[in-house]
A = this chain, B = another copy of it.
Amino acid sequence: MLRIVILGTGNLAKHLYDAFITTKDVDVLQVVGRNREDLQQFSEYATISNDFDAIAEADVYLVAVKDDAISEVSKYLSNKKGLVAHTSGAMCLNAIQTTNKGVFYPLQTFTKGIAVDFSNIPICIEAEEKDSLESLRTLATSISENVHHIDSDQRKKLHLAAVFVNNFTNYLYHVGEELCLEEGLSFELLKPLILETANKVQIMSPIEAQTGPARRNDLKSMGNHLELLNKEEHITLYKLLSQAIKQAHEEEL
User: Which residues of chain A have a CB within 8 Å of any CB of chain B?
Assistant: 67, 90, 107-109, 111, 114, 116, 120-122, 124, 146, 148, 150, 153-154, 156-158, 160-177, 179-180, 182-185, 187-207, 209-215, 221, 224-225, 228-229, 233, 236-238, 240-241, 244-245, 247-248
Query: How many protomers of this protein does the assembly include?
Result: 2
> What is the chain B residue whose CB lies nearest that of A116?
B196
- Report A211 CB to chain B, min CB distance, Å: 6
- Report A227 CB to chain B, min CB distance, Å: 10
Given contacts A168-B172, A194-B201, A206-B177, contact A244 B240 (CB under 8 A): no
- Report A85 CB to chain B, min CB distance, Å: 19
Contact of A172 among B154, B169, B207 (CB under 8 A): B169
- Contact residues in B for A107 (Cβ distance below 8 Å): 189-190, 192-193
- Contact residues in B for A189 (Cβ distance below 8 Å): 107, 122, 124, 148, 158
Query: Given the complex of chains A and B, what is the CA–CA distance between A68 and B157 in angstroms?
Result: 43
Q: Is the interface of A mostly helix, strand, loop or mixed?
A: helix
Report whether B240 and A236 are in contact in the complex, using a CB–CB cutoff of 8 Å.
yes
- Report A146 CB to chain B, min CB distance, Å: 8
User: Given A107-B190, A111-B200, A158-B185, list of 8 further CB < 8 A pairs?
Assistant: A161-B177, A163-B238, A166-B193, A167-B241, A169-B197, A172-B172, A173-B201, A237-B240
Report whether B197 and A180 are in contact in the complex, using a CB–CB cutoff of 8 Å.
no
Given contacts A107-B192, A179-B164, contact A244 B248 (CB under 8 A): no
Contact of A224 among B111, B156, B193 (CB under 8 A): B156
Given contacts A161-B179, A162-B190, A165-B176, contact A171 B229 (CB under 8 A): no
- Contact residues in B for A182 (Cβ distance below 8 Å): 157
Query: Given the complex of chains A and B, what is the CA–CA distance between A241 and B191 in angstroms?
Result: 21
- Contact residues in B for A233 (Cβ distance below 8 Å): 244, 247
- Report A245 CB to chain B, min CB distance, Å: 5
- Contact residues in B for A156 (Cβ distance below 8 Å): 224, 228
Query: Given the complex of chains A and B, what is the CA–CA distance between A207 and B172 in angstroms?
Result: 10
17 A-B residue contacts at CB 8 Å?
A: A109-B193, A109-B196, A109-B200, A109-B211, A154-B185, A161-B179, A164-B176, A165-B172, A166-B211, A168-B172, A169-B169, A169-B173, A171-B244, A172-B172, A174-B206, A177-B205, A198-B199
- Report A127 CB to chain B, min CB distance, Å: 18
Query: Given the complex of chains A and B, what is the CA–CA distance between A153 and B171 in angstroms?
Result: 24
